[in-house]
Copies of this chain bind each other. A is one copy, B any other.
Amino acid sequence: MNWLDVLGPLTRHRDRRNPLYARIESRIRESIQSGRLTEGERLPADREMAQLLKVDRSTIARAYDELEAAGLVTSQVGRGTFVAQRGAAAEGSATGSARRAAASGDGLCQLVWAESFSRASQMTSSIVARQVTPPISGGDTISFAGGIPTQEFFPHKDFQRIVSSLLCSERSLEMFGYSPPEGHQSLRAEVRKHLSRQGIFAQDDEILILSGSQQGIDLLARTLVDPGDVVLMEDPSYFLAICNFAALGARLIPVPMDEDGLRLDVLDGIMSRQRAKLLYVMPSFQNPTGATLTSGKREELLRLARFHQVAILEDNFVGDLSFESGQLPSLRSLDPSGGTVIYQGTLSKALCPGLRLGWMVAPRQVMARLRLAKRSCDLSTNSMAQVVAAEYLREGLYEKHLLHVTEAYRQRRDVLCQALESHLGDYLSFSKPRGGMFVFGKLPEGYSSRELLSLAEKEGVSFSPGDMFFLGNDRFEFLRLSFIQLKKGEIEEGVRRLGAAVRAYAARARRSSRAATGSCGAEGTFI
């Protein structure tokens, strides 16, 4: 079968309404419906088809997934993907008269739903599609991917004692009942105290408890952002924040970074040229770069935001994991009235993610809106988690926990950076982060971390490819390594494996002369 012939000429232009995978899917669908492809015909493996069409493998995988969901093809593990039986295909079809005819049956659901998806859903889906298959993390693979805190530091014993004692007390009623949308009073009070130790002085009623800080992004986006609004983001930035703002139809404008975070000269220019509504920023130990805005840049950023009247969402997701004595002031602490900065923090990274607890600080006028958005989303946050966490904070256990884990994570960062220099010094440039959980490495010009990843997985190591964090999705030479979930020996072995993968990649690159090797194209800048 000449597949290029079957599928016909394919343009690679960007078209949000009809993305590449959908165009490929519809070509195959037409060939099946016209009878050109017949029952039982085997489709090329996604890897082969990707090479043939010169597209990303994930694009083909997505097209095949959609065809399978529509009942047009079936895939059999270890065997391949085949054109499905006629009946199944007819059942899956749902346009025009066939749709009406099938209306009394049950089979047509898949396509009816597909036609119904909202633009927000399609947007999220199309952005998430570029993430492709997540890096392998099972078995013997050593994973620097993701960003999950270490299980060994989970507070089993303290929680067991606290939960047991609370369930015996009258406060168990609070654990089973609804909390108010803004959060349980006891947790808000403890969060207020915690924040005051960091120079953020808020009243209880300026604090909203979140079901994790992802929810903070979602709530603020819904409260402030309309289609067409300009939202500024660090480039690269947190992947799911990109999804949330984009799904609302915001115009996302990337702001380049250097080792000290946002390039403020560029930001000033952007803000001067157009009216932006919001800047989403992670000033400390940024995701994915690990970069930290200096104290001077924080003051200047705030001045710019005020001058241009742009609101800031400060996401301090790993602010509690500082490896240096004396944290830098949060933007919110430099903006005591909250007139410019809305702030959020979380327990997910420094303590544990399973509680799904975070907090947002906003002026009362904004809080009134956020509370309504929170109610629309999930009424309120899990009461049991809130009451237990409040007690944990009240007893001072979180502060103790932080002392312990920041020391452990600081050591792990050092081990990782040392190992990277030893094993990968010729190939990977990076800046040592001052806290948090990520090292962002840059491969030599022309290298692709996506291509490296498949070699790395063969060596038994994985990481997060950097392109997914860039708004343009077009920078392939970066990779993100999370160091908090691995022990010393694992980190060293993981980097050794990564070194082997990079050298194999470099050798291949030399053979194909596609990339310059042995030298680093840039010195840890991200622009």
Q: Which of B105, B167, B223, B306 contacts A117 (CB 8 A)?
A: B223
* Stretch binding the partner chain, chosen from A353-361, A401-409, A486-494: A353-361
Q: Could you tell me if A121 and B382 are in contact, using CB atoms closer than 8 angstroms?
A: no
Q: Tell me whether A376 is interfacial, beta carbon within 8 Å.
A: yes
Interface flags for A99-120 (1: CB within 8 Å of B; 0: not) read: 1100111111110111011111
CB-CB nearest in chain B for A369: B121
Q: Tell me whether A509 is interfacial, beta carbon within 8 Å.
A: no
Bound Cα distance from A215 to B355, whole angstroms: 17
Q: Which residues of the other chain, B, contact A110 by a CB distance below 8 angstroms?
A: 339, 363, 365
Q: Which residues of the other chain, B, contact A337 by a CB distance below 8 angstroms?
A: 106-107, 109
Interface flags for A372-389 (1: CB within 8 Å of B; 0: not) read: 110111111111110000
Q: Could you tell me if B356 and A380 are in contact, using CB atoms closer than 8 angstroms?
A: yes
Closest Cβ of chain B: how far from A272's Cβ, in Å? 12
Question: If A113-B363, A354-B177 touch, does A212 touch B336 (CB 8 Å cutoff)?
Answer: no
Interface flags for A211-251 (1: CB within 8 Å of B; 0: not) read: 11011001000111110010000000000100110011000
Closest Cβ of chain B: how far from A15's Cβ, in Å? 16
For A, the interface residue count at a CB cutoff of 8 angstroms equals: 96
Q: Which residues of the other chain, B, contact A368 by a CB distance below 8 angstroms?
A: 69, 125
Closest Cβ of chain B: how far from A484's Cβ, in Å? 13
* Stretch binding the partner chain, chosen from A80-88, A156-164, A421-429: A156-164
Q: Could you tell me if A369 and B117 are in contact, using CB atoms closer than 8 angstroms?
A: yes
Q: Which residues of the other chain, B, contact A328 by a CB distance below 8 angstroms?
A: none
Q: Which residues of the other chain, B, contact A437 by a CB distance below 8 angstroms?
A: none
Q: Tell me whether A436 is interfacial, beta carbon within 8 Å.
A: no
Question: If A118-B224, A173-B154, A352-B177 touch, does A339 touch B214 (CB 8 Å cutoff)?
Answer: no
Bound Cα distance from A179 to B339, whole angstroms: 36
Q: Which residues of the other chain, B, contact A384 by a CB distance below 8 angstroms?
A: 354-355, 382, 384-385
Q: Tell me whether A178 is interfacial, beta carbon within 8 Å.
A: yes
Question: If A110-B365, A164-B160 touch, does A378 touch B215 (CB 8 Å cutoff)?
Answer: yes
Q: Tell me whether A481 is interfacial, beta carbon within 8 Å.
A: no
Which 10 pairs, one residue from A and one from B, show the smallest C-beta to C-beta distance? A109-B339, A354-B383, A106-B337, A154-B176, A176-B352, A160-B167, A103-B306, A103-B307, A382-B382, A176-B354
Q: Could you tell me if A116 and B353 are in contact, using CB atoms closer than 8 angstroms?
A: no
Q: Could you tell me if B151 and A156 are in contact, using CB atoms closer than 8 angstroms?
A: no
Bound Cα distance from A154 to B121, whole angstroms: 37
Question: If A113-B366, A339-B108, A353-B178 touch, does A163 touch B167 (CB 8 Å cutoff)?
Answer: yes
Interface flags for A141-166 (1: CB within 8 Å of B; 0: not) read: 00000001001001110011001100
Closest Cβ of chain B: how far from A166's Cβ, in Å? 9
Bound Cα distance from A142 to B116, whole angstroms: 45
Question: If A148-B177, A355-B176, A376-B243 touch, does A224 touch B121 (CB 8 Å cutoff)?
Answer: yes
Q: Could you tell me if A378 and B218 are in contact, using CB atoms closer than 8 angstroms?
A: yes
Q: Tell me whether A175 is interfacial, beta carbon within 8 Å.
A: yes
Count of this chain's copies in the oligomeric assembly: 2
Q: Tell me whether A525 is interfacial, beta carbon within 8 Å.
A: no
Q: Tell me whether A41 is interfacial, beta carbon within 8 Å.
A: no
Output the residue of A159, A340, A366, A381 with the most chain B CB within 10 A.
A366
Q: Which residues of the other chain, B, contact A510 by a CB distance below 8 angstroms?
A: none
Q: Could you tell me if B118 and A214 are in contact, using CB atoms closer than 8 angstroms?
A: no
Q: Could you tell me if A104 and B303 are in contact, using CB atoms closer than 8 angstroms?
A: yes
Q: Which residues of the other chain, B, contact A385 by a CB distance below 8 angstroms?
A: 382, 384-385
CB-CB nearest in chain B for A175: B354
CB-CB nearest in chain B for A167: B160
Q: Could you tell me if B125 and A309 are in contact, using CB atoms closer than 8 angstroms?
A: no
Q: Could you tell me if A338 and B109 are in contact, using CB atoms closer than 8 angstroms?
A: yes
Q: Which of B116, B128, B214, B244 contacts A277 (CB 8 A)?
A: B116
Q: Tell me whether A418 is interfacial, beta carbon within 8 Å.
A: no
Question: If A103-B307, A108-B339, A112-B309 touch, does A226 touch B118 (CB 8 Å cutoff)?
Answer: yes
Q: Tell me whether A203 is interfacial, beta carbon within 8 Å.
A: no
Question: If A112-B309, A337-B106 touch, does A372 touch B100 (CB 8 Å cutoff)?
Answer: no
Q: Which residues of the other chain, B, contact A214 by a CB distance below 8 angstroms?
A: 375-379
Q: Could you tell me if B376 and A356 are in contact, using CB atoms closer than 8 angstroms?
A: no
Q: Which residues of the other chain, B, contact A382 by a CB distance below 8 angstroms?
A: 211, 354-356, 382, 384-385
Bound Cα distance from A376 to B219, whole angstroms: 10
Q: Could you tell me if A172 and B156 are in contact, using CB atoms closer than 8 angstroms?
A: yes
Bound Cα distance from A340 to B112, whole angstroms: 8
Closest Cβ of chain B: how far from A107's Cβ, in Å? 7
Q: Which residues of the other chain, B, contact A172 by a CB distance below 8 angstroms?
A: 154, 156
Q: Which residues of the other chain, B, contact A226 by a CB distance below 8 angstroms?
A: 118-120
